[in-house]
Structure 1
Amino acid sequence: MTILETRVYRGANIWSYEQAIHLVVDLGRLEDHPTNTLPGFTEHLLEMLPGLTNHSCSRGRRGGFVERLNEGTWLGHVAEHCALALQQVVGHDIRRGKTRQVKGRTGVYNVVYGYADEQVGLAAGRLAVRLLNHLVQSDPEFDWEAELESFILRAERTAFGPSTQAILDEAVSRDIPWIRLNQYSLVQLGQGVHAKRIRATMTSATSAIAVDVASDKDLTTRLLGAAGLPVPKQESVRSVEGAVAAAKRIGFPVVVKPLDGNHGRGVCLDLRDEDAVREAYLVAKEQSRRGTVIVETFVTGKDYRCLIVDGRMVAIAERVPAHVVGDGTSNVEQLVELTNADPRRGVGHEKVLTRIKVDAGAKEVLAAQGHTLESVPDNGEMVKLALTGNMSTGGISIDRTFEAHPENVEIAEEAARMVGLDIAGIDFICPDITEPVRETGGAICEVNAAPGFRMHTHPTIGEPQFIAKPVVDMLFPPGAPSRIPIIAVTGTNGKTTTSRMVAHIFKGMGRKVGMTSTDGVVIDERLLIRADASGPRSAKMVLQNPRVDFAVFEVARGGILREGLGYERNDVAVVLNVQPDHLGLRGIDTVEQLADVKAVLVEAVPRDGHAVLNADDPLVREMRRRCSGQVVWFSMEEPGSPAREMIEAHCRRGGKALVLNPSDRGEMIVVKHGRREMQLAWTHLLPATFSGRARMNVQNALAAAAAAFAAGAPLHDIRQGLRTFSTNYYLAPGRLNEVDVNGVNVIVDYCHNAPGMKMLGDFVDRVGESLSHDLARPSRIGVIATAGDRRDEDMRELGDIASRHFDVVIVREDQNRRGRKAGEVAGLVVEGVKRGMVDGARCKQVEEVHDEIKAVRHAMARANVGDLVVFCVDKHPAVMAELENWSQQAYAGAGASPDAPTADPDYVPAETTSS
């Protein structure tokens, strides 16, 4: 079994509502060998992954998958369950998956399964395939135990720490979206202008100065002491002799620790003579980043950690240093092994407790108690292996949240306020936290920034405290928004123009709009990236921008198939149309399959969202069944048509729709909500419609208005947005840009497929009828092209349609031919033009000029005043620059440009056909 292809979906996709990994696997000869024909296969598999016994599979009950194994199922299906089981081994409770055979390919399967961490999910899929191959035919180089351990270590490296995970779990429970910003613990909660960032337990509201103060233990103690809070006496030193002198002044016993250490590293306690201070100084200095060491009074008592969030105490834990308890028969080393065998203990932060590590420091602590590793402690005797109670050194925690004396709580809260931390860990040393520390003795020995939550969320003894709740309350107070509205637009044609219309409407309302389209990423009308940005990564870029309070995404077929949507859901999904384009790519061979891809946006609409659907397109109409929210229809059909009858029935039930109502004065866009009708705008008064002649933009305006209406925009703002939006170079580059070049009417458009050419051709016919000239009938010249990844017949159809609307067709090629040979695409388009000419089409001449700029020059050189020239462009800025160059130069002689006397001097026609 081999993996042919791997895809990672980072949002809703054609297979799942949530993120998933997609493997295309080839079973090879194993297609003829289901699991019940492989001797011992099931037994060995369950032995290696016992968690598979809990999988229900399609049976809906525990053990259902084992039944399928015994009855006989194919190994692609088994790989899916193994990938899920491996993720469950490392604590990722993922249960979503499906396996389907690739249509028309025997033995090749689509294996799809969910994931929590992308790298872990990919590694699980690869290891699952290797394991199954090994079980079918033993591989002597495959060591399952070593491979599993390596997989677990990989998961540990990429996993969030317990503190970060606790905050994320709380955020998810409140429907707050999050984005991981790096491979560590930097995470964004919320979207756009509402976004907050956390790194472990530091937040975007955490003061950098407060963190610096907390890191300087000498400064912290002086600040707290000045506030009248109980703190030990201390001095900072930078030499061994200085440490000894400070210890004498303070008085033994003392504590020596690094000025700016953490996790208890380098802290030496209960030092009772000068020699002990000298040794401790070297240990502390090694852990001090600035080389400064603190000597302070040794305060006796128990070690307590008070957690303060937003100025309030939320949890208190008593920290007990790493230790073992004697049983009268086992030595210390055996007791450590027995303690570490506790399933709650792991390496680092892997589990709720950390394994006890017996190092040189532990042996010194043992020696101070009169023990070695071979000593056998008395039954019940507690033997310490560390002096500090940090969880990271193997300590345990006991919850004391509801036992603390109010005065001690007040002291801890005041300490956090003095330092200025929004989340602080206050380390108290006192005999008993239930008694006032000012009376019983004790002190605050440290204030910690970014305190760990593990001792509170998973105490060894006592009830866990849900401390992530106050953290998320602080970042997102009840009722505060965390999401920005998202309008997603898809369809075969018109996506970019509709997206720009929607963005223009909301920009007029004062919103900071982030928009993605095939032109690039635009933030508040600033083009940040010039590229095809209609995919999920661009959407993620917008959601991370702190200025954006409204998002409009153009969503293309390719991005959905490649990576999914890249976000969880969209408040409004707009589907304009589904036409045969880009078929034959990535397994999409029919227009019905293409509709399934577009429908992913509709499936991503929540219950309180809207799907704006074209009632005139049968494939789009069917998408209403996939929408969890409300449907808003738009239609260009006249009253009495089937589409309008459906809309009328929809509105009688309280639904919403936008339609065209014809009259003697023109067409009126009407908003229907229930039984109410509200007039919005005359289509001929909207600049983008060219007095109503550009029918594709009439449809786009309907869709944009419906989307804005569904998103809550007032009608007067929608009306104003449509009235001020025009298809000029600045608002809609490459979308029906009209230019007058020395009396020649020029239209620049991005049309690149047959359905688009039909709409463009209709526009050309309507505009052409309005053109007139005193000397002769104006000619229509079309410069056309298509992308190389279309089917041959699609290219021919493009040429055929163009031949019915233009007198002269000039066929060029894109700079990127997408795997085609030079001249191949143009040749196929020319075949279509000739086919139309044979059928009596309008076209009388077809020419090939492969280079785009040369094609522009050639078309302009042969155009006369009053003619209509339409450029279907690839590199829009270059074409507009060339047209600007022509418009600025006076014609010389018989209307020819100085740069091109009669036609481009380098132009040699590949073939010319005339009637």
Structure 2
Amino acid sequence: MSERPTPDLAIVETRVYRGANVWSYDKSIHLVVDLGSLEGFPTNTIPGFTDNILQMLPGLREHSCSRGRRGGFVERLNEGTWLGHVAEHCALALQQVVGHDIRRGKTRQVKGSPGHYNVVFGYADEQVGLAAARLAVRLVNHLVEADPAFDWDAELEAFILRAERTAFGPSTQAIIDEAVSRDIPWIRLNQHSLVQLGQGVHAKRIRATMTSATSAIAVDVASDKDLTTRLLGAAGLPVPKQESVRTEDQAVRVAERIGYPVVVKPLDGNHGRGVCLDLQNEKEVRESFTIAREQSRRGTVIVEAFVTGKDYRCLIIDGKVAAIAERVPASVTGDGVSTVERLVDTANADPRRGVGHEKVLTRIKVDEAAVTLVHEQGFQMTDVPPEGTTVKLALTGNMSTGGISIDRTFEAHPENVEIAEEAARMVGLDIAGIDFICPDITEPVRETGGAICEVNAAPGFRMHTHPTIGEPQFIAKPVVDMLFPPGATSRIPIVAVTGTNGKTTTSRMISHIFKGMGRKVGMTSTDGVVIDERLVIRSDASGPRSARMVLQNPRVDFAVFEVARGGILREGLGYERNDVAVVINVQPDHLGLRGIDTVEQLADVKAVLVEAVPRDGHAVLNADDPLVREMRRRCSGQVVWFSMEEPGSEVRDMIEAHCRRGGKALVLEPSDRGEMIVVKHGRREMQLAWTHLLPATFGGRARMNVQNTLAAAAAAFAAGAPLHDIRQGLRSFSTNYYLSPGRLNEVEVNGVNVIVDYCHNAPGMRMLGDFVDRVGESLASSHDLARPSRIGIIATAGDRRDEDMRELGHIAAQHFDVLVVREDVALRGRERGETAGLVIEGVRAAIAEGARCRQVEEVLEEIDAVRHAMSRSNRGDLVVVCVDKHAAVMAELETWSNVAQAGATANPQTPAADPDYVAPAPTDA
């Protein structure tokens, strides 16, 4: 151990979970940190550490930590805690500094790695969370040993500015907060304010205060102030006289015709930029014309009559006034001591003021126009105004120019409310900001004088949600009411399927059942993303990104997700929760990767789906698998069991007890006529289908598909599908290549029975071998003269453990006469031939023990292996191809069939006729 601590804390690995994960029910950031020499120095051994960190991040005093009370973390600091734990709390505190109320976190030592810790904490914004993690580590190291280059104040300010750049504006955040309070899911679609509320067919989009229901034509009309005024005037609404001009001379002539004072403003500006008020003469009009034209996208300027009075913003949502605010231009009030310049600095020091729309108020900007306006009021910026004297710094009351707001929602006269609502209807906006200029909003504007000077699309909410004076208005509620009326659905049903083997077939069965019911199903699997039976992306899509892609598709009204172990460990689920979680089995596969070394740890990963089931959801669990059976304890909803065990077994007794308590289950009931799938619900029993009559089960011989059928039927039943629809879906689902590519596809090639399957691990090979034995027996009974041979083409992925590869070969040797060992295109870190060599070792060991196999051959390329196996097969033989690229394999098999049908004596693609083909040397045991 070092005599003194050195700043060795380092981030070794970073993962961002965008949904439920192995550490948390919600999205989290996971760091693996290395303490180095700091492993020997808890906080109470580092002089001044606790005092310094509390001075820099005083919010840590509020953290309860594991003590469950305020100040609990400070107690831990004083008692001595490790610096990985400190980094976790610093990352949380930094996020709280920028307004993200995140309190979830945990730190655990990495098993078998002294000094390494898993640091996990929640986040609201991914980029802010990651920046907080990096700054937290730097801060801890700085407190261990001061770094002269580390300026805490500058670092904290830079962090705050970064957070403000990525944060939602007040309007967007208000809508999201309201949606979350109603359990409406949301997805950020870009780095700005484009957000999706809801899922699939129920999804709505917002960009700030524009919604997917906002008319583009209405936005164009509102941006054309001349057209807006003419439309409102034609409807009999009070509007000022105005005309559009393109030159200074035209502006002067119009101003003289209308009569001074006038207003000059851009035709299509926003946020009050370029608006010049109370112009009294030709000189002021000419000067203002240049200012307004700079802010006009089309170069057109509006000259209109100046209406005197107060500035009011009426917010109209879905045709109704939701809030009214009086906008007061930016100004300061003299105290008899401070200069105008000093008064502005004091006002800008208000913590509520920020840059742009980042806070509830905007900082007052002292530009040339502000200085001129101050001068017109008889002051210089260095003058001291008398006490109580108000000095204006802007003429317009826009919040973006530093103005303040006063809530007047319940003070407006009903006639004025009607005028504002009619104006929004005339323009056609679902959310509109109507700008009134009138002496008093409490009196009818038609009597007191006043007019509508503008109609704004995408009006800001912050003057209403955070008024400077008055009660805040909860205007996000009517927006969400408009998008999702009370009782409307925002979520689509999600069925998530996981397990070591059978995930893809089960997912396809479930999708097929609901497609038959008329649902637009979005499915992810290892083959790609399928939307309404169309493969839109061809890749391994069993991860969280593919799931989010389905949830964003506006056609999908039902989602089926195949969820693999890798995606959960890499990013979490990618969504908040699933209505039905299906766990088929947990068997040793992919062990030794990403810290998963045992099958029990693998079960913990797959149990994330069960933990993501809500109280009104279901977990469909395989009662025959002890590890899956234990997952029932993690389910908040109801458990639906499925089992292949016979009546009278311990498992069936457990299921019977479960059903007597009102539970649900699907089981097999054997009889002289075969096996019947029976649905149990409470004390009721309903027959579903004979297993041997379902095409996917090959007459009941494919026991793995019997299990998959039980899981799929149970999931459909839990998701609310009627029994006759489940029955029809199972009867019409087969393992042909079009419905289930690469999963137990059966084809006949020149009299040879060929099975194409994706089997790639030892447990899967055990189930496939059982199927081969059952099929092989039926083939043997139909051939009296010679026993048909069983030829298998096998392989496994290079990221398996060496013992797993040997076990695959050992099991395969029990069921095949000849084995051809190939390799995948992606070697996954192995040398060419290394994976095949390990599989062959397992085969040879089994042969030495007396296994069925008598010959093993190595043909590394997949298509070459298929050609070799087909060339040595005879009519009546059984060839099983465990594929990597199933489309290429099926195309090759089709070539063999087509040539035979054409009567060719030799297939030009066969090894004998291909001049570039070199026959492999047999590797006999």
TM range (shorter): over 0.9
Q: Return the offset for 1:331.
A: 1.2
State yes or no: 1:800 paired with 2:846. Answer: no
Q: What code does the residue aligned with 1:165 have?
A: Q
Are 2:568 and 1:573 equivalent residues in the alignment? no
**Contact 1:10/1:566 (CA < 8 Å) preserved in 2?**
yes
Correspondence 1:870 to 2:880 = yes
In the aligned structure 2, how far is the partner of 1:294 from the partner of 1:846? Answer: 87
**Is the contact made by 1:8 and 1:563 (CA closer than 8 Å) also made in structure 2?**
yes
1:217-296 superposed matches below 5 A: 217-296=225-304
1:491 aligns with 2:477: no
Residue 913 in structure 1 maps to residue 924 in structure 2: yes
Counterpart for residue 79 of structure 2: 71
Report the secondary structure of 2:336's partner residue: coil
- State the Cα deviation string for residues 578-614 of structure 1 (Å, max 9, x = none): 0000000000000000000000000000000000000
Q: Name the CA distance, whole Å, in 1 between partners of 2:480 and 2:376.
A: 45
Quick one: which of 5, 8, 15 aligns to 1:7? 15
Select 1:755's aligned residue among 759, 763, 782: 763
Contact 2:908 2:914 in 1 (8 A): no
1:651 lines up with 2:662 in the alignment: no
Give how far 1:137 is off.
1.5
Shift of 1:377: 1.3
Partner of residue 406, structure 1 = 414
Q: 2:910 aligns with which of 883, 888, 900?
A: 900
Residue 702 of structure 2, aligned match among 674, 682, 694: 694
Q: Secondary structure at the match of 1:739?
A: strand
Shift of 1:900: 2.4
CA drift of 1:913 comes to 1.2
Counterpart check, 1:859 vs 2:869: yes
Going from structure 1 to structure 2, the CA distance change for 1:891 and 1:382 (only over 3 Å counts) comes to closer
- Verify: 1:161 aligned to 2:172, yes or no: no
- 2:826 aligned residue: 816
* Alignment correspondent of 1:208: 216
SS of 2:573 mapped into structure 1? coil
Q: Does 1:612 align with 2:623?
A: no
Q: Establish whether residue 95 from structure 1 lines up as the match of residue 103 from structure 2.
A: yes
2:639 counterpart SS class: strand
Write the distance in 1 (CA, Å) between the matches of 2:660 and 2:909: 64
1:824-863 alignment runs, 5 A limit: 824-863=834-873
Q: Tell me what 1:727 maps to.
A: 735
- Aligned partner of 2:4 in structure 1 is none
For residue 898 of structure 1, report the CA deviation from its aligned partner: 4.0
Shift of 1:893: 11
Which among 759, 778, 783 is matched to residue 773 of structure 1? 783
Aligned 8 A contact 2:19 2:26 in 1? yes
Query: Amino acid of the residue matched to residue 468 of structure 1?
Result: A
Cα deviation, 1:56-77, whole Å, max 9, x if unaligned, reads 1001111110110111000100
Q: Shift of residue 44 of structure 1?
A: 1.0
Deviation at 1:903, TM superposition (A): 8.9
Give the alignment's TM-score, normalised by structure 2: 0.98
Structure 2: gaps (5+ residues): 1-8
- For residue 472 of structure 2, what is the aligned residue in structure 1? 464
Tell me, in whole angstroms, the C-alpha distance in 2 between the residues paired with 1:734 and 1:855: 17
Q: Is the 8 A contact 2:98 2:160 kept in 1?
A: yes
Q: Which residue of 2 aligns with 1:327?
A: 335
Could you tell me how far 1:775 is from its partner in structure 2? 3.0
CA gap 1:898/1:237 in 2 versus in 1, 3 angstroms: closer
Secondary structure of the residue aligned to 1:3 is strand
In structure 2, what residue type is equivalent to 1:792? D
Change (3 A) 1:892 1:675: closer
Amino acid at match of 1:567: Y
How far apart are the structure 2 equivalents of 1:634 and 1:493? Answer: 16
Secondary structure at the residue paired with 1:171? Answer: helix
| Structure 1 residue 535 displacement after superposition | 0.1
Q: Closer, same or farther in 2 for the Cα pair 1:300/1:15, shift >3 Å?
A: same
Tell me the distance in 1 between the aligned counterparts of 2:351 and 2:553.
43
Q: Is the 8 A contact 2:316 2:432 kept in 1?
A: yes
Shift of 1:901: 5.4
> In 2, distance between residues paired with 1:662 and 1:445?
81
TM-score of the superposition, structure 1-length normalised?
0.99
Partner of 2:677, secondary structure, is: strand
Partner amino acid, structure 1, of 2:660:
R
2:537 to 508, 529, 538: 529
SS, match of residue 318 in structure 1: strand
Match of 1:487, SS state, is: strand
* 1:779 partner letter: S
Give the CA deviation at 1:899.
Answer: 3.0
**Pairs within 5 Å for 1:334-483:** 334-483=342-491
Distance 1:735 1:599, change over 3 A: same
For 1:856, give the aligned amino acid.
V
The separation in 2 between residues aligned to 1:868 and 1:894, in whole angstroms, is: 23
Give per-residue Cα distances to partners, 1:649-690, cap 9 Å, x unaligned. Answer: 000000000000000000000000000000000000000000
Do the aligned partners of residues 516 and 382 (structure 1) sit closer, same or farther apart at CA in structure 2, a change above 3 Å counting? same
- Secondary structure, aligned partner of 2:315: strand
Residue 180, structure 1, aligned to residue 188, structure 2: yes
Amino acid aligned to 1:778: P
Tell me by how many angstroms 1:710 deviates. Answer: 0.2
Tell me by how many angstroms 1:346 deviates: 1.6
Residue 337 of structure 1 aligns to which amino acid in structure 2? D
State the one-letter code of the partner of 1:599: A
- Mapped contact 1:891–1:897 kept (Cα < 8 A): no
- Residue pair 2:507, 2:712 contacting (<8 A) in 1 also: yes
- For residue 524 of structure 1, report the CA deviation from its aligned partner: 0.1
CA distance in 1, matches of 2:812, 2:901: 29
- Matched-pair contact (CA < 8 Å) for 1:514–1:551: yes
What is the rounded CA distance, in whole Å, between the counterparts of 2:664 and 2:579 in structure 1?
Answer: 16
Structure 2 counterpart of 1:81, one-letter code:
H
Q: Which amino acid aligns with 1:14?
A: V
Asked if structure 1 preserves the Cα contact closer than 8 Å seen for 2:325 and 2:463, the reply is: yes
Deviation by residue 1:494-546 (Cα, 9 ceiling, x = unmatched): 00000000000000000000000000000000000000000000000000000
- The question of whether the paired residues in 2 share the 8 Å contact of 1:397 and 1:459 is answered with yes
Q: Do 1:892 and 1:898's aligned partners in 2 also have CA atoms closer than 8 Å?
A: no
Moved more, 333-342 or 752-761: 333-342
- Per the alignment, in what secondary structure is the counterpart of residue 595 of structure 1? helix
C-alpha separation in 2, matches of 1:894 and 1:878: 22
SS across alignment from 2:265: strand
Instruction: Name the stretch that deviates more: 763-772 or 890-899.
Output: 890-899
- 1:306 paired to 2:314: yes
The one-character-per-residue Cα deviations of 1:91-137 (angstroms, maximum 9, x if unpaired) are: 00000000011110000011100000000000000010011111112
Checking the alignment, whether the CA contact within 8 Å between 2:867 and 2:911 is kept in structure 1 is no
Return the match for 1:879 from 889, 892, 898: 889
Alignment equivalent of 1:195, drawn from 178, 185, 203: 203
Measure how far apart 1:692 and its partner are. 0.3
Q: After the TM superposition, which residues 538-549 of structure 1 pair with which residues of structure 2 at under 5 Å, given as runs? A: 538-549=546-557
What displacement does 1:896 show?
A: 6.0
Find the aligned partners of 2:908 and 2:69 in 1 and give their Cα distance. Answer: 81
The answer to whether the Cα contact below 8 Å between 2:313 and 2:433 also exists between their aligned partners in 1 is yes
Give the unaligned 5+ runs of structure 1: none
What is the distance in 1 between the residues matched to 2:743 and 2:750? 21
The root-mean-square deviation of aligned C-alpha atoms, in Å, is 1.2
